[in-house]
């Protein structure tokens, strides 16, 4: 149990003492050292669709070769910025490891981004080298000319000769062009060194209430905290600690959840079975065939596994541990899931991209229904009154705030957003409302900020509003989330049409769908209104729109 501290007459919860000290080194050194200890003939990753395997020795060797090839062109250190945009695949973590080995900065991007979204995100990080899948290549070719900072595009997998363009190479082709047919001796390879607290490892996209995504700069030390949590017996089962587990890699690798959890699992020596897309039968068959022991889920997946009739047709008995994060999981769904899977360990955690994932987690052997656990090792937490700034005691709802070495360095090249994310005394403001009980267990109630959570993804209402208001027939608009058990929330638009114009719901939905990723589409519907409620300063009163949705919720849901 966390101890309650007294800080300036304010209650603060302190995480438990750590079993191991934090490593004061860049991640590449840690990962390289651990990869050298992996069984060379052991399997690191498996593609669930093709059943292709990637051995530890090949993952390590190919990542080292890629790092060396990039170094030959001068791409190393903090001045080297890479991006990767791809579905989950066996090549993905070769790029991640190579970037970390070189002490470079990696900015993963969603493969489902439209050109509109990609253009904004590329402008944040300004990568010199972009790694992508063949599906993403056409979009990048269109954007390469205006983004002159992109010097090379390297395609994962095999690149068809017909797809070749100037400045575009396949991954293997690129490595051969720099190293010939020779491989680097992994035992003599030296990863980059530096200051882990002040060196950026990743720039990850995170939407804010201001609309378009911001770049979350996470340091090597931020991720070292996560790797340390993975080694803690308080949070990690024995088989996982011993590298004897198999994890299902369904969470997108470009997303903080999929990226950091998978990197942590590989660092421990556990095998990852990756899925390039969600398919109910492939998911269930993978758990059965590959004897998956660890499931990392978001609530919609938890609901599917707890309710789908298909589950009864597969043997999921190997599952030992279920982690659920991304949004609060209702207590009854948590109970149904554990009963259905008959697993020993079903736990929730709470965190976000800005906190390098989990800052609270349910310790092993403890259970409190509906709770996301207690504050974790190395961290401090408090509940803050959003209006007065006063810290609150047990069972009082306020904004969750955290301090510790897993909190982001800042928003990349966005000093204003960074300042606004912290209190004057250095606490990171999550924007989420919740409380903790007398025993230090946290519960999430609502979001102070206005993000819509769809399938674990964050959707900014302001981004959709900015797109909708550009439609020639739209005068004003407000966007909120429609609660939905399957996906969490669906974006709903309240629209004021321009006088004399006729506009249909289908027309607006199609307009938005052409500009945004699937999770941002208006799947909750469109409602035409005479005006959008606003306060005197012009801020949309979303609470009034959500209240209206509660009254008319059934009519909206009947159209889904």
What is the per-residue pLDDT for 248?
Answer: 96
Per-residue pLDDT of the chain (560 residues; tens, 9 = 90+): 444 444 444 689 999 999 999 999 999 999 999 999 999 899 999 999 999 999 999 999 999 999 999 999 999 999 999 999 999 999 999 999 999 999 999 999 999 999 988 999 999 999 999 999 999 999 999 998 899 999 999 999 877 654 567 779 999 999 999 999 999 999 999 999 999 999 999 999 985 444 578 999 999 999 999 999 999 999 999 989 999 999 999 999 999 999 999 999 999 999 999 999 989 999 999 999 999 999 999 887 888 898 888 999 999 999 999 998 877 777 778 888 888 888 778 888 999 999 999 999 999 988 888 899 999 999 999 999 988 999 999 999 999 999 999 999 999 999 999 999 999 999 999 998 899 999 999 998 877 778 888 988 878 888 898 899 889 999 889 999 998 888 889 999 999 998 899 999 999 999 999 999 999 999 999 999 999 988 655 668 888 898 888 877 666 555 55
Whether 209 is catalytic: no
Neighbouring residues of 24: CB distance < 8 A, sequence distance ≥ 6: 196, 221
What is the per-residue pLDDT for 559?
Answer: 57
Tokens 């860049």 correspond to what residue? 26
Distance CA 83, CA 99 (A): 10
Whether 353 is catalytic: yes
Is residue 368 a contact partner of residue 341, using CB atoms and an 8 Å limit? no
* β-strand pairing of 271-274 with 43-47: parallel
Distance CA 490, CA 481 (A): 5
Q: Considering 236, 271, 333, 353, which one is annotated as catalytic?
A: 353
Distance CA 486, CA 473 (A): 32
Helix (H) or strand (E) holding 554: helix 553-557
Neighbouring residues of 434: CB distance < 8 A, sequence distance ≥ 6: 383, 397, 398, 400, 442, 443, 444, 445
- DSSP letter string over 159-215? PPGGG--TTEEEHHHHHHHHHTTPPP-TTT-------TTTSEEEEEEE--TTSS-EE
Q: Considering 220, 255, 290, 447, which one is annotated as catalytic?
A: 255
Distance CA 334, CA 319 (A): 15
Q: Considering 539, 550, 554, 559, which one is annotated as catalytic?
A: 539
Q: Considering 32, 60, 71, 226, which one is annotated as catalytic?
A: 226
Q: Considering 453, 471, 520, 521, which one is annotated as catalytic?
A: 453
Distance CA 539, CA 560 (A): 29
Is residue 27 a contact partner of residue 220, using CB atoms and an 8 Å limit? yes
Whether 226 is catalytic: yes
Distance CA 467, CA 453 (A): 19
Whether 94 is catalytic: no
Is residue 448 a contact partner of residue 399, using CB atoms and an 8 Å limit? yes
Whether 382 is catalytic: no
CA atoms within 13 A on the CB side of 297: 27
What is the per-residue pLDDT for 163?
Answer: 57
Distance CA 135, CA 89 (A): 13
What is the per-residue pLDDT for 69?
Answer: 98
Is residue 9 a contact partner of residue 23, using CB atoms and an 8 Å limit? no
State the DSSP code for 451: -
Tokens of 319: 């599952």
* β-strand pairing of 246-249 with 271-274: parallel
Distance CA 84, CA 444 (A): 33
What is the per-residue pLDDT for 208?
Answer: 47
């Amino acid at each position: 149990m966390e101890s309650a501290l007294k800080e300036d007459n304010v209650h603060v919860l302190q995480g438990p003492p750590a079993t191991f000290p934090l490593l004061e080194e860049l991640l590449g050194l840690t990962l390289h050292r651990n990869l050298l200890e992996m069984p060379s003939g052991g399997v690191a990753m498996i593609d669930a669709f093709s059943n292709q395997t990637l051995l530890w020795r090949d993952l390590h060797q190919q990542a080292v070769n890629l790092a060396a090839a990039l170094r030959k062109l001068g791409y190393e250190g903090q001045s080297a910025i890479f991006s990767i945009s791809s579905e989950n695949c066996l090549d993905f973590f070769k790029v991640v490891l190579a970037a970390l080995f070189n002490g470079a900065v990696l900015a993963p991007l969603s493969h489902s981004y439209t050109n509109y979204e990609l253009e904004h995100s590329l402008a944040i990080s300004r990568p010199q080298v972009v790694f992508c899948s063949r599906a993403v290549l056409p979009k990048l070719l269109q954007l390469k000319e205006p983004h002159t900072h992109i010097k090379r595009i390297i395609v994962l997998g095999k690149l068809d000769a017909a797809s070749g363009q100037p400045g575009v190479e396949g991954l293997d082709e690129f490595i051969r062009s720099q190293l010939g047919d020779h491989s680097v001796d992994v035992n003599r390879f030296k990863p980059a060194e530096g200051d882990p607290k002040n060196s950026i490892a990743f720039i990850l996209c995170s939407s804010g209430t201001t609309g378009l995504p911001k770049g979350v700069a996470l340091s090597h030390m931020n991720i070292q905290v996560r790797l340390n949590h993975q080694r803690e017996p308080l949070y990690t089962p024995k088989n996982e600690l011993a590298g004897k587990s198999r994890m299902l890699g369904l969470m997108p690798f470009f997303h903080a959840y999929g990226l950091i959890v998978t990197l942590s699992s590989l660092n421990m020596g556990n095998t990852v079975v990756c899925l390039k897309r969600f398919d109910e039968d492939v998911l269930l068959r993978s758990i059965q065939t590959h004897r998956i022991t660890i499931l990392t889920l978001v609530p919609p997946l938890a609901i599917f596994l707890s309710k789908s009739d298909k589950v009864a047709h597969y043997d999921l008995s190997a599952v030992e541990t279920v982690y659920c994060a991304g949004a609060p999981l209702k207590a009854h769904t948590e109970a149904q899931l554990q009963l259905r899977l008959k697993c020993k360990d079903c736990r929730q955690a709470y965190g976000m991209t800005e906190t390098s994932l989990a800052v609270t987690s349910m310790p092993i052997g403890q259970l409190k229904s509906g709770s996301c656990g207690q504050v974790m090792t190395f961290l401090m937490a408090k509940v803050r009154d959003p209006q007065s700034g006063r810290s609150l005691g047990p069972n009082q709802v306020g904004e969750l705030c955290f301090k510790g070495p897993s909190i982001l360095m800042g928003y990349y090249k966005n000093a204003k957003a960074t300042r606004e994310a912290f209190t004057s005394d250095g606490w990171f403001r999550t924007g989420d409302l919740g409380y903790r009980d007398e025993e230090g267990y946290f519960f999430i109630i609502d979001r102070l900020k206005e993000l819509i959570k769809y399938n674990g993804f964050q959707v900014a209402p302001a981004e959709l509003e900015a797109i909708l208001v550009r439609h020639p027939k739209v005068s004003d608009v407000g966007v909120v989330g429609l609660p939905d058990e399957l996906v969490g929330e669906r974006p709903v638009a309240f629209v004021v049409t321009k006088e004399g114009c006729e506009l249909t719901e289908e027309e607006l939905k199609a307009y938005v769908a052409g500009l945004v990723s699937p999770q941002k589409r208006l799947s909750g519907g469109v409602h035409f209104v005479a005006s959008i409620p606003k306060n005197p300063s012009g801020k949309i009163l979303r609470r009034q729109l959500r209240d209206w949705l509660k009254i008319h919720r059934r009519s909206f849901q009947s159209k889904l």
